[in-house]
Amino acid sequence: MITITRVALATPATMTADAYRELCWGAGLDLTATGYGLLLAYDDGSGDVVTAVVDDIEYARLLAESTGVTVPAHKIIRSLPDWPDLRPEAVTVWP
């Protein structure tokens, strides 16, 4: 399980076509018509910071309106450890 600290929507409707394509390519995700919810979170087991991906956009929208929510593992389709690179000197920025 993870505890969310921030939510971003990565969808064709919230990004330019090029930005959406690049994000999917960089994260290893398939291009879809609906997009993804990106959850910046803490892994409750390890305490590591992770970016979890959900493909249920409405669920991601609900999560964006809440704080400190714990998300069950079955909702997460992919986990991106160390992505984006959150070190201050890193060039990658959180969307």
3-46 pLDDT, tens digit each: 888 899 999 999 899 889 888 888 889 999 999 999 988 888 88
**pTM of this structure:** 0.80
The model's confidence at residue 59, banded by pLDDT at 50, 70 and 90, is very high
The predicted pLDDT at position 91 comes to: 47
Under the banding of pLDDT at 50, 70 and 90, the label for residue 71 is confident
Distances (CA, A) of 41 to 8, 12, 13, 16, 32: 11, 23, 24, 25, 23
> Would you say residue 94 has pLDDT above 80?
no
Longest dimension (CA), the chain: 36
